[in-house]
Amino acid sequence: MKIKEKPRDFVVEEITPDGLILEVGKEWKFEESEGKHLICVLEKVNWDTNRAVKMVSKQLHVSPKRVGFAGTKDKRAWTAQRISIWGLGQDDITKVHLKDLKLWPIKRSNERIKLGDLWGNRFTITIRELDNEEKAKLEKPREFKVPNFFGIQRFGEKRPVTHLVGKALVLGNPELAVKLYLGWVGPGEREETKEARRKVKQNWDWNEALNYFPKHLSYERTLISHLSNHTNDYVGALRKLPKNLLKMFVHGYQSYLFNRYLEERINKHGFGGLEGDVLENDVPTGPIYGYETQFPLGEEGELEKQVIKQEGVWIDQFRIKSIPEASSKGMRRGIFVTVHDYQVIEEGSDWVRIRFKLEKGTYATTVLDYIFGIKHKIPDTKNLWADDDTQGS
């Protein structure tokens, strides 16, 4: 079985709050309207959302801070989503020329698109090299529920380091956060990238690192460039990164903790309810730990406290004093997700194409993992360097 063998095998189309599906491959027309923000459909193949925004901003000669979007999409995929760009005209978009990326102006608005400004996403996924038993597993009802784990891409598919950097930030250790982000070697990275990460760990020489760190590692080079001029200013270096990337580190750690909580809950209590469950839309919820987390009473509250205590952190540490913009107050998340409008839309002798919708904050890979019984190994956070292939310090 192969998933995401080709980027176009994994199609992600954003669904707006009013239910519009932003279909890939569609030519969008501009709707005459007024407002300071130009709303565009961003269509891309095999592009990380943050990098796409950075490169689009560069070609438009504007700050990435002017660009808003509702959520990041899978990198190895064919995706469509809305973005807003403050202060530009419709014709300015003609300056953007990037391979496998298109930008369609659709209207103007006085409202910036903010994180969370979507209903969810429609996924169309081609799964290849299936045997008959695996194909049979894909026969599902139109609507069903799966445990709401965060997917592997939340942590990094080739280099699952996001949550480790996030924990270092929560622990109040910006130096460790920077060094993990620069030096932690992931199993799926290019060899030249692995070599650069191994080399920087030998002496943390920032001036030297600028000479050999690959150009495509733009965020890493941003950190190194700052440190080469301001040695030991790890907070200043981190604050050179986009705010949403800093938040993503902490969100990655929160996601790791939620997955640990949910796994513990299912292992101990199955899929039943617990005394003290907090319900949202009749669905039991679990904690996205943050500085405003309030623990429920009963079995549920005890389980939530147990998971975070085992981590050696506490909720008030999610208020990150040195980098306030990375702080997170927390929230609650349903322990199950409903898969909507599931269907097999096409199939061949050893492949199947499926389509379904998920509400925001949930992962198509979680659905596939559940269907096929896949378990991903996410690096543990007891020793933040433990799963790095060179075990640095």
**What is the rounded distance in angstroms from the CA atom of residue 67 to the CA atom of residue 243?**
12
Nearest to 133 by CA among 350, 353, 344, 386: 350
How far does Cα 60 stand from its chain's mean position?
25
With tokens 């070599």, the residue in question is 195
CA of residue 122 relative to chain centroid, distance: 16
| Euclidean distance between CA atoms 187 and 318, whole angstroms | 29
What type of residue sits at position 310? Answer: Q
Tokens for 342, please give them: 């599931």
| CA within 13 Å, CB half, 267 | 7
The number of helices, as runs of H, and strands, as runs of E, in the chain is 11, 13
Only one residue has tokens 């429920």, namely 296
Residue 56: partners with Cβ closer than 8 Å, 6 or more residues away: 42, 67, 83, 96, 98, 101, 103
Of the candidates 252, 253, 271, the one whose C-alpha atom is nearest the C-alpha of residue 262 is 271
Strand partners, 78: 11, 45
Of residues 9, 18, 48, 74, which has the active-site annotation?
Answer: 74
Question: Is residue 74 annotated as a catalytic residue, yes or no?
Answer: yes
Burial class (CB in 10 A: 0-12, 13-18, 19+), 91: exposed
d(CA 390, CA 311): 24
The catalytic residue positions are 74
